[in-house]
């Protein structure tokens, strides 16, 4: 089975060709970073226009790299949400047009499911597993029971973890996108233990997250040290922030592991996914936790953590081989939670409903 995947939900335009033998035949990603950098964040209208301009060319490139024509494809998968709706519409309409013209099945993929199933593409991980989904719009702990079957154990009550990285980067004058820049600054720190930051919810029951207090604490330190920050101040603060985030995540994961083991005594892996899963300090910290808990730990290669279309093609394959596809009347979804039965989170409207991935 050969599937073309399309991803346009945020600021990466991407196309990929993947097979059901877990082979990534092509995986092209065009970052719109330069288009959005002057504004310090993603501008939805600019994103939608850039997807429109580049998507056709990227699909052509991916198919040429994979050495396939439309006649070789078994299905077309595109991100159907959640995400910035203008971009999602561009990807979905393109996929529908190809599907209609070539009489191919169309699969609308939940972007979050793309992240969630990546570990099955890269490592053939068996269900069930415990997933930490950490991206720019989400921070959730989920039990992945099967394709389309997710049980949410915890989520953030305020900011997503990637959002916290991005806001911290802004406070430190590092620019956008924050995650990789904070990671690089932290690596240069000469006194990483200099600043003590609060560790929100650590030691508390449940598996929820909170990051807004941490960001406020960084702001307070920035004000105390006084502008302009020296390079050393900035790097030490970045290191403090990053190691605190890793500690908080490990604490929340440890609680989720206890629940996972109680419900699934046969065991399963601890998996991390989403853009923040590219962070090496977080990966190392979670590896220690998994070793302690006797669980296999799976973190996809860095380029498959951040947004890409290989994960969309793969999630499309997983659904399609179960006999699922979508009609061409499918309407793009700005919100699309993985676990629609999860209770709403008190404290912030929209969080956990999949506003952005
Ligand atoms: O999954 P993703 O590519 O896009 C969506 O949000 O769907 O995640 C992007 C987020 C951004 O907030 C970015 O700052 C963060 O992932 N990120 C990182 C790293 N690379 C990307 N955060 C921490 N460390 C990184 N190396
Ligand atoms: Zn994403």
Which ligand is closest in space to the CA of residue 41? 1
Q: What does residue 130 show for φ and ψ, rounded to 5 degrees?
A: -95, 125
Q: Is the CB of 136 under 6 A from ligand 1?
A: yes
Would you place residue 347 in the very low, low, confident or very high pLDDT band (cuts 50, 70, 90)?
Answer: low
**CA of 287 relative to ligand 1 center, distance in Å:** 19
Q: How far apart (Å, rounded) are the C-alpha atoms in residues 37 and 272?
A: 27
**CA of 210 relative to ligand 2 center, distance in Å:** 19
Going by alpha carbons, the residue nearest to atom 7 of ligand 1 is 357
* Closest to 134 (Cα-Cα) out of 246, 241, 291: 246
Give pLDDT tens digits for 23-34: 999 999 999 988
pLDDT at 274 over 80: yes
**CA of 197 relative to ligand 2 center, distance in Å:** 27
Q: Is the CB of 165 under 6 A from ligand 1?
A: yes
**Burial of 19: CB neighbours in 10 Å, binned 0-12, 13-18, 19+:** middle
Residues with Cβ–ion distance below 5 A, ligand 2: 135, 307, 357
Give pLDDT tens digits for 172-188: 999 888 999 999 999 99
Task: Give every strand in the sheet of 139-146, ordered side by side.
Answer: 149-155, 139-146, 129-134, 270-273, 297-298
* Closest to 144 (Cα-Cα) out of 133, 130, 154: 130
The predicted pLDDT at position 40 comes to 81
pTM exceeds 0.75: yes
């Amino acid at each position: 089975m050969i599937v073309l995947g399309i991803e346009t939900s945020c600021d990466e335009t991407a196309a990929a060709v993947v097979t059901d033998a877990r082979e990534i035949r092509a995986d092209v990603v065009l970052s719109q970073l330069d288009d959005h950098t002057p504004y310090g964040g993603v501008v939805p209208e600019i994103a939608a226009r850039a997807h429109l301009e580049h998507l056709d060319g990227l699909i052509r490139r991916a198919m040429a790299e994979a050495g396939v024509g439309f006649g070789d494809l078994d299905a077309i998968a595109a991100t159907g949400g959640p995400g910035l709706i203008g971009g999602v519409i561009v990807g979905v309409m393109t996929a529908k047009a190809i599907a209609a013209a070539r009489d191919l099945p169309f699969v609308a993929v939940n972007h979050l499911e793309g992240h969630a199933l990546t570990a099955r593409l890269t490592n053939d991980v068996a269900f069930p597993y415990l997933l930490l989904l950490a991206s720019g719009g989400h921070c959730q702990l989920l039990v992945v029971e099967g394709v389309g079957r997710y049980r949410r154990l915890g989520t953030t009550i305020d900011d997503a973890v990637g959002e916290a990285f991005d806001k911290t980067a802004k406070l430190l004058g590092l620019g956008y996108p924050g995650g990789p820049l904070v990671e690089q600054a932290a690596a240069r720190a000469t006194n990483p233990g200099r600043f003590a930051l609060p560790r929100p919810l650590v030691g508390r029951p449940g598996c929820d997250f909170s990051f807004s207090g941490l960001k406020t604490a960084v702001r307070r330190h920035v004000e105390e040290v006084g502008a302009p920050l020296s390079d050393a101040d900035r790097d030490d603060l970045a290191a403090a922030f990053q190691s605190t985030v890793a500690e908080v995540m490990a604490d929340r994961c440890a609680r989720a592991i206890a629940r996972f083991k109680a419900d699934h005594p046969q065991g399963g892996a601890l998996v991390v996914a989403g853009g923040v899963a590219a962070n090496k300090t977080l990966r190392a910290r979670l590896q220690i936790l998994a070793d302690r808990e006797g669980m296999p730990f799976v973190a996809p290669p860095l380029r498959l953590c951040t947004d890409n279309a290989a994960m969309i093609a793969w999630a499309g394959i997983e659904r399609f081989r179960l006999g699922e596809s979508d009609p061409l009347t499918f309407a793009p979804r700005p919100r699309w939670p993985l676990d629609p039965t999860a209770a709403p989170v008190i404290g912030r409207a929209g969080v956990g409903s999949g506003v952005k991935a």
